[in-house]
Amino acid sequence: MPPEERDAQILKRLKQVTRYAYQHSPFYRKHWDRAGFHPDHLGSLEDFEEKVPAITKQDLRESQARVPSFGDYLCIPQEEIHHIHGTSGTTGQPTAFAVGRGDWEAIGNAHARIMWGMGLRPGDTIFIASLFSLYWGSWGTLIGSERLRARSFPFGAGAPGMTARAVGWLRQIKPTAFYSTPSYALHLAETARSQGIDPAEFGLRILFFSGEPGASVPGVRDRIQQAFEARVVDSGSMAEMTPWMNCAGTAETEGMLLWQDLVYTEVCDPATFRRVAFGQRGTPVYTHLERTSQPMIRLLSGDLALWEEGPSACGRTYPRLPNGIFGRIDDAFTIRGENVYPNEIDAALNTMADYGGEHRIVISRERTMDELLVQVEPTRAVFGAGQEALRAFRDETAGLLQRIVGIRVRVEALAPDTLPRTDFKARRVVDDRDVFRELNRKLEKER
């Protein structure tokens, strides 16, 4: 659809969504009354951007603290709740997600439609290799697969030895598609090779991912594609925004499309919450167009992305995130005045032929200067080739990272399999002074 026609349809839906939320949610009514906004004021998409205040995850947590367990932004009676999901709560009070039956069906419809765009079809077998728990990723993939009338293989993840068993099941069943995080796919490929099995033997046609950046990063994407000899598709926004595949690539288009008629997305300046021009970076701000239980209206993601205007190679006219989502703005750390995003280091390392697949970033302050040290596992061939080969690997890695982040980076080469692999989202940043000093002493001894 031409963008101007789609925008007109989106505006009609935004008028309905804001009226519905104003009538059913004390949270939005109070929030908008304070800002001087009323749904009757909405005459254009520009009005929506300028007059509707953004909300944050902290606003949602405070709402649920005031009105347990689902907050005063719940717009349906509690007896109509069909599923309860939530955040892990590892960094504070968990957030509860209440999903009505109609929303559950709408999410399945949306995901099936998007998965069709990825190239998945009825009759495909989809291997789901992620946690079945509060985590939305597994469930969203499952209900999309079922609605698509594909064969679902909800294998899961997380139990000891499960990755080794996944290798056996993949060889036996030979599914056509696979879902997990990018980190887990690389871990799976390593596990298969350790058993003398080429991951390409699984016969996968499509691997699609969410949960962390990576599948739109050329270095990471290329390693996965080469390992499995299959198409890689990136997807995912926020659990609060489910259908989280509202940001997703297609069979023909790299990066992520913004499926605007499901979740209206603006990429905004993180300080003003006003849209940035196409070709610029900002933070996605999301609005549900179909959710009725806990609708999110201008939810600030806190992520970082660059957007471009459509159309894309697949013919769809949606805006696109060509590099996907880089990571969270608050994941960035500042070293000697330079903002460093962990995902940029990840992307750079994955372009190296001798990178062994895992690393850890250690940041601290030694005396009066910020320091950055990256522990990297080279390939087994490089690690076993002697000190000269390791020294050359460290120098090459340090030079590459310095060009990327703009400051001096110290590198330590670790033995393969030193760092833990993950069944879920990779966590690779350590901010610990004692760890840094210990590693510094070790490097000094090596010299």
CA–CA dist 229, 17 (Å, integer): 43
Q: Say if CB 209 and CB 161 are below 8 A apart.
A: no
CA within 13 Å, CB half, 64: 17
CA within 13 Å, CB half, 274: 6
| Structure-token pair, residue 446 | 């090596």
CA–CA dist 21, 44 (Å, integer): 18
User: In Å, how far are 236, 347, 382 from 359, measured between CA atoms?
Assistant: 24, 12, 15
Backbone angles phi, psi at 66, to 5 degrees: -70, -40
What type of residue sits at position 390?
A: L
Q: Say if CB 269 and CB 285 are below 8 A apart.
A: no
- Name beta bridge partners: 125: 151
Backbone angles phi, psi at 426, to 5 degrees: -75, 140
Peptide bond into 243 cis (omega under 30): yes
What type of residue sits at position 437?
A: R
Q: Buried b / exposed e across 15-52, counting CB within 10 Å, b at 16+?
A: eebbebbbebbebbeebbeeeebebeebeebeebbebb
CA–CA dist 75, 86 (Å, integer): 17
The conformation of residue 170, written as its DSSP 8-state character, comes to: H
| Structure-token pair, residue 366 | 């030694």
Nearest residue to 88 via CA among 152, 137, 153 = 137
CA–CA dist 85, 126 (Å, integer): 22
Q: Output the pLDDT for position 422.
A: 66
Q: Say if CB 402 and CB 408 are below 8 A apart.
A: yes
Domains and CATH numbers, the chain: 99-329 (3.40.50.12780), 332-446 (3.30.300.30)
Q: Output the pLDDT for position 164.
A: 95
Q: Is 444 helix (H, G, I), strand (E, B) or coil?
A: helix
CA–CA dist 387, 185 (Å, integer): 31
Helix (H) / strand (E) element for 28: namely helix 26-35
The dihedral through the CA atoms of 181, 183, 186, 188 has a sign that is negative
CA–CA dist 243, 210 (Å, integer): 12
In the chain the first and final C-alpha atoms are separated, in Å, by 63
Under the phi-then-psi rule, with left for phi > 0, alpha for psi from -120 to 50, and beta for the rest, what region is 345? Answer: alpha
Q: Say if CB 145 and CB 176 are below 8 A apart.
A: no
The dihedral through the CA atoms of 406, 407, 408, 413 has a sign that is negative
Q: Say if CB 428 and CB 220 are below 8 A apart.
A: no
Chain-centroid distance of CA 412 in Å reads 28
Q: Output the pLDDT for position 118.
A: 98
CA–CA dist 426, 447 (Å, integer): 31
3-state DSSP helix/strand/coil percent for the chain, to nearest 5? 40, 25, 35
Q: Could you list the pLDDT tens digit for every one of the 447 residues in the chain?
A: 999 999 999 999 999 999 999 999 999 999 999 999 999 999 999 999 999 999 999 999 999 999 999 999 999 999 999 999 998 654 457 899 999 999 999 999 999 999 999 999 999 999 999 989 888 999 999 999 999 999 999 999 888 899 999 999 999 999 999 999 998 999 999 999 999 999 999 999 999 999 888 899 888 899 999 999 999 999 999 999 999 999 999 999 999 999 999 999 999 999 899 999 999 999 999 999 999 999 999 999 999 899 999 999 999 999 999 999 987 776 667 675 566 778 778 888 988 999 998 899 887 655 545 678 899 999 999 999 999 999 999 999 999 998 888 778 889 999 998 988 766 566 677 654 444 455 555 556 655
Q: Output the pLDDT for position 90.
A: 46
Q: Say if CB 150 and CB 117 are below 8 A apart.
A: no
Which residue's entry shows tokens 């995901």? 111
Under the phi-then-psi rule, with left for phi > 0, alpha for psi from -120 to 50, and beta for the rest, what region is 298? Answer: left
Nearest residue to 401 via CA among 219, 232, 255 = 219
User: In Å, how far are 106, 129, 184, 198, 409 from 172, measured between CA atoms?
Assistant: 33, 15, 20, 14, 45
